[in-house]
Amino acid sequence: MLEQQKRDWHVIARDEVLARLKARHEGLSPAEVAERFNRCGPNRLPEAGRPSLARVILRQFANPLTYILLAAAAVSAFLENWSDVGFIASVVIIDVIIGSAQEWQAETSAASLKKTLRISPTVVRAGVRRTVSIEDLVPGDIWLLESGAAVPADLRLLTAQDLRVDESLLTGESHSVVKDADAIVAAEAGLGDRANMAHAGTLVVSGRGSGVVCGTGSRTELGAIAHMLASEGARPPLLVRMEAFSNRIAVATVLLVLLVAGGLVARGGALEEGFLFAIALAVSAIPEGLPMAITVALSIASSRMGKRDVIVRRLPAVEALGSCTLIATDKTGTLTANRLTVKKVALPGAGAFDVEGEGLELEGEIRAADGRAPADTEAKRGLIRLATAASLTNESEIGVAEGALEARGDAVDVSFLVLAAKLGLTRAELLMAHAPRGAIPYEPKKSFSASANVDGQRQRLSVKGAP
């Protein structure tokens, strides 16, 4: 049986991993791929299917206060008080329409978002490189890692050349991690310490490599997290309070019926008359407009969050988020955008300079920090020399994709490319003017990176890192 269930691939040597997965460096044959796909299923995270419109509508009735309103409508119909029946029915219908429309729109938006997130990994099968759908990956596939690629499954690395992976989605650590295919890691090592593994949901920051797929779909580390998130969590505070409120109304209504009916009968009235009077009084005490008011308020809040690119699939989730009193989170990449910006530059003998702009804004003036005047010609030459050196010894990229500016690579390297752009420089133009002759990529053990380039008739060495 194919050993996809094992979770200790990081403690096993590469050759043994290939043997256990019955895989080869030249990849699987088409027949092996088909057989493993039928056995293991598509490489897809576990998720609940999209609910039907009928289910979304029925879900709006799952409210204790709605139950009481429906009971009140039934009693009003029994008493032939059709005006109350019509009013209560209209309130319930409006409440259901608003809630259903909001949740159906959220489900549609979530489904559309998933369609845009398509990854087409490059694998080796039968000795040939192929681009396949992410869902078609199977255990034993040989996947080729390259800078900027999203890891589609759990991999045991076979080769790694200056390979760095951003694992912040899984570990919360904002710094990219250096990978080593030769490493043998202890069994108890955490996800962030498995240097010979690349996990689904992470991103290749720089370098090249290859790996054998050892876990797909729900059998990945990301799949285990998705499975936990798919389980039913705590009920939103609003539903808890609504249920308690509805229970109090129900108890109060029953006591009111018994008290009024008993009082009328004790004074000599007819039992039927006392009962009907008590029921009518109880119905009038029920706040028919409360569910609709709550639904409208939550819908407005959900729409406002939608304008901030937040999809709220269930209306009570808005109130649940507002009820949070303590949020424990890692800052970089979670509360922030994992972007760094050069805001101040200090040059020897020229003083300090402030840089305008944030994030990926490629335009911004550079002014002297003291007099707020633009940098003079001599200072600008120094800034250009600094930005040139930082751009040549750089592994990041800035480009336009589908009309939007995107950056790939380490956040520090990206910030230097943005600084260079503000000075009218691009890395592509600099490389054309300074032909590369060699490079030393950044590694934490060295704490620096370097690039050798030809600058006219002389050699130029650029170094960036810790002193």
What SS3 state is found at 359? coil
- Going by their DSSP bridges, the two strands 197-198 and 203-215 should be labelled as unpaired
Residue 116 has pLDDT above 50, yes or no: no
- pLDDT band at 233, cuts 50/70/90? low
Domain boundaries of the chain, sorted by first residue = 9-43+137-228, 53-113+233-322, 344-465
**CATH C-level class of 344-465:** alpha beta
- pLDDT band at 453, cuts 50/70/90? very high
Catalytic residue (one of 182, 330, 370, 376)? 330
330 tagged catalytic? yes
- The confidence score (pLDDT) of residue 336 equals 64
- The confidence score (pLDDT) of residue 95 equals 75
Instruction: Kindly give the interhelix angle for 290-306 and 64-78, rounded to the nearest 10 degrees.
Output: 140
Q: Please list, in sequence order, all residues whose beta carbon lies within 8 angstroms of the beta carbon of residue 133, skipping any fewer than 6 positions away.
A: 118, 120
Residue 387 has pLDDT above 80, yes or no: yes
- pLDDT band at 69, cuts 50/70/90? confident
**CA dist list (Å): 278 to 79, 87, 275, 289:** 12, 20, 5, 21
- The confidence score (pLDDT) of residue 379 equals 83
The single-letter DSSP state of residue 150 is B
- The confidence score (pLDDT) of residue 142 equals 93
In whole numbers, what is the pLDDT of the chain averaged over residues? Answer: 80
Residue 419 has pLDDT above 90, yes or no: yes
Q: What is the mean pLDDT of residues 453-460?
A: 88
Residue 2 has pLDDT above 60, yes or no: no
Q: Is 157 exposed, middle or buried (0-12, 13-18, 19+ CB in 10 A)?
A: buried
271 membership: H or E segment, kind and range: helix 271-285
- The confidence score (pLDDT) of residue 232 equals 57
9-43+137-228 carries CATH number 2.40.30.110? no
Residue 392 has pLDDT above 90, yes or no: yes
